[in-house]
């Protein structure tokens, strides 16, 4: 069935005059894919609808939120299977019912786009990226053929390994994933803290965080001020002393608070005090996510670059944030995913924002993102493709930087499994 009315959480997606919406992957829909009848291409896919690229002017969207809502927990294996319309909050709530957890990101509103594009969680330093926790994937390739793949082992043939690698981190270019089976983890106590810091204090805490245990992770956002957040998952009761020691050592200001959260989804509420979650219906934005290794003695220089970028940001809703990886994200799944920048321990992202009616403001913001990216490139040479930008002139640069040496093989996969370019271009 085709619908034209819809509500996407992303303002920019919501404001597009789209061709229409498909809600089912049925025989008719598959026929359109197989016979290349869908015009214009690419088809856009919406799971959580939080990115600007789940709907675009004049294009069709396959919206999976209505009809792909199944979520099942297997008590024997402690694994969870979700369909593609289930968001991260729903996934976590199901796991919590069984005293289990999953490394979701900073927002429970994101859909499986979060998992498929990598999935960096405040718990990733312990449990890996979301893609590292996938056990099974099902869906439909861009060529209309169904697939079901299990996480490769030593007996898996090379082609299936390549397909898996492509889907874990680059699925939006190859396939429509309809169902994912995932590992879960024992629910453990989590503490969080937040404080405002000066640029030199931020430099100080970044240096400390580069040597923290995998139980701790740092997140900061630099907009009107610098707000810093920390998350610490306790392994056992004795670990609380380690948390207290960390808290004593870090720089802080008068607004410092520390508290226990019931689960990782409450971390998203940490953001409520800054601009990210405020419902600016008229505000559009684009985001570019960078990746980089330990900064060591280059932290001060990096901070000066960000300070310079923030001074010239085009709007007060434009900002630069950063979350921490490392630990398990470095060791796990190197050959099994398209997330190739495994040496990364920082993911800064640059958000350029403008009023939806302000065409000049859009141009300035896009230019600011590009210039800020250029300024930070030597510190953070990789790209995390959590958002796609085929509509912007940096798309090709972004793709090359995200996939590097893996790109030729990824393109070959695309020519086999999405030969007509039904899905976004690589
Ligand atoms: C408030 C907020 C907080 C965030 N925090 C984090 C974080 O902590 N860590 C992190 O890693 N990222 C984070 N992100 C980024 C987010 O995970 C990505 O933008 C992700 O792609 C969003 O997925 P979605 O399903 O919600 O979005 P959608 O807009 O529905 O989809 C995003 C992209 O994925 C593709 N896609 C969606 N569903 C499918 C499918 N079923 N099969 C194939 N392709 C599909 C689409 O083509 C689209 O281009 C955050 C985003 C927001 C808005």
Predicted structure pTM score: 0.96
The first and second tokens of residue 239, run together, are 């670990």
Output the CA angle 168-352-308, nearest 5 degrees.
Answer: 110
DSSP-assigned states of every residue in 259-286: EEESSGGGGGGGGGGSGGGS--TTEEEE
CA of 109 relative to ligand 1 center, distance in Å: 9
Place of tokens 């697939």: 147
- Split at pLDDT 50, 70, 90, the class of 264 is confident
The first and second tokens of residue 247, run together, are 């808290």
Say if ligand 1 is within 6 A of residue 366 CB. Answer: no
Is pLDDT above 70 for 3? Answer: no
User: What's the mean pLDDT in 222-251?
Assistant: 95
Q: How far is CA 132 from CA 86, 126, 135, 301, 321, in A?
A: 19, 11, 8, 33, 24
Nearest CA to ligand 1 atom 53: 50
Report the relative pairing of strands 60-63 and 20-22 from DSSP bridges: parallel
Q: What is the pLDDT of residues 368-416, one digit of tens each?
A: 999 999 999 999 999 999 999 999 999 999 999 999 999 999 999 999 9
Q: In this structure, which CATH number among 3.30.390.50, 3.40.462.20, 3.30.565.10, 3.40.50.800 belongs to the domain 190-405?
A: 3.40.462.20
Task: Provide the sign of the torsion angle of the four alpha carbons 274, 277, 280, 285, taken in this order.
Answer: positive
Place of tokens 């992202």: 349
Q: Which residues contact 47 (CB under 8 A, 6 or more apart)?
A: 54, 64, 65, 84, 85, 87, 111, 112, 113
Phi, psi dihedrals of residue 181, rounded to the nearest 5°: -105, 135
Report the relative pairing of strands 146-150 and 134-141 from DSSP bridges: antiparallel
Architecture field, domain 71-185: 2-Layer Sandwich (3.30)
CA 303 to CA 316: how far, in whole Å?
19
Is 190-405 the same fold as 71-185?
A: no
Q: What is the pLDDT of residues 45-73, one digit of tens each?
A: 999 999 989 999 999 999 999 999 999 99
CA of 384 relative to ligand 1 center, distance in Å: 11
Cis omega (within 30 of 0) for bond into 244: no
Percent of the chain with pLDDT over 70: 94
- Split at pLDDT 50, 70, 90, the class of 277 is very low
CA of 175 relative to ligand 1 center, distance in Å: 15
Cis omega (within 30 of 0) for bond into 344: no
Q: What is the pLDDT of residues 112-142, one digit of tens each?
A: 999 999 999 999 999 999 999 999 999 999 9
Structural element, H or E, at residue 79: strand 79-83
Q: What share of the chain is helix, strand, coil (3-state, %, to 5)?
A: 35, 25, 40
Q: What is the pLDDT of residues 151-164, one digit of tens each?
A: 999 999 999 999 99
Instruction: Give the pLDDT score at 280.
Output: 59
The first and second tokens of residue 302, run together, are 């990096």
Instruction: Give the pLDDT score at 271.
Output: 59
CA 122 to ligand 1: nearest atom: 8
Instruction: Give the pLDDT score at 5.
Output: 59
Residue spans of the domains in the chain: they are 2-63, 71-185, 190-405
Nearest CA to ligand 1 atom 37: 113
């Amino acid at each position: 069935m085709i619908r034209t009315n819809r509500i996407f959480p992303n303002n920019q997606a919501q404001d597009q005059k789209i061709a229409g919406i498909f809600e089912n992957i049925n025989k008719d829909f598959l026929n359109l894919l197989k016979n290349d009848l869908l015009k214009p291409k690419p088809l856009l896919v919406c799971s959580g609808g939080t990115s600007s690229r789940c709907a675009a002017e004049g294009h069709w969207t396959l919206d999976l939120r209505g009809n792909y809502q199944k979520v099942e927990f297997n008590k024997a294996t402690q694994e969870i299977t979700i369909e593609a319309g289930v968001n991260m909050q729903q996934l976590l709530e199901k796991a919590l019912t069984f005293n289990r957890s999953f490394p979701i990101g900073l927002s429970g509103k994101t859909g499986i786009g979060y998992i498929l594009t990598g999935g960096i969680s405040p718990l990733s330093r312990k449990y890996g990226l979301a893609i590292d926790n996938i056990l099974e994937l099902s869906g439909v390739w861009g060529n209309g053929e169904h697939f079901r793949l299990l996480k490769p082992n030593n007996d898996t043939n090379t082609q299936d390994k390549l397909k898996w690698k492509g889907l874990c981190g680059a699925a939006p270019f190859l396939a429509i994933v309809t169902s994912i089976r995932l590992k879960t983890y024992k629910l453990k106590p989590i503490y969080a803290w937040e404080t405002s810091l000066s640029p030199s204090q931020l430099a100080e805490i970044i240096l400390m965080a580069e040597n923290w245990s995998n139980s701790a992770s740092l997140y900061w956002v630099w907009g009107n001020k610098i707000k810093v957040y920390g998350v610490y998952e306790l392994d056992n009761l004795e670990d609380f002393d380690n948390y207290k020691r960390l808290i004593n050592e870090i720089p802080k200001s008068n607004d410092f608070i520390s508290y226990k959260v019931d689960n990782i989804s409450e971390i998203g509420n940490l953001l409520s005090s800054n601009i990210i979650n405020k419902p600016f219906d008229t505000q559009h934005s684009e985001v570019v996510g960078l990746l980089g290794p330990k900064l060591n003695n280059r932290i001060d220089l990096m901070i000066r670059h960000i300070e310079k970028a923030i001074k010239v940001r085009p709007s007060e809703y434009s900002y630069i944030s950063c979350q921490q990886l490392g630990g398990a994200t470095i060791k796990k799944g190197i050959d099994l995913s398209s997330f190739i920048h495994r040496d990364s321990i920082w993911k800064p992202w640059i958000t350029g924002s403008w009023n939806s009616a302000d065409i000049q403001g859009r141009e300035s913001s896009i230019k600011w993102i590009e210039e800020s990216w250029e300024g930070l490139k030597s510190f953070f040479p990789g790209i995390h493709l959590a958002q796609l930008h085929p509509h912007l002139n940096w798309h090709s640069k972004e793709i090359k930087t995200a996939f590097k040496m893996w790109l030729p093989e990824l393109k070959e996969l695309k020519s086999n499994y999405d030969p007509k370019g039904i899905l976004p271009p690589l």
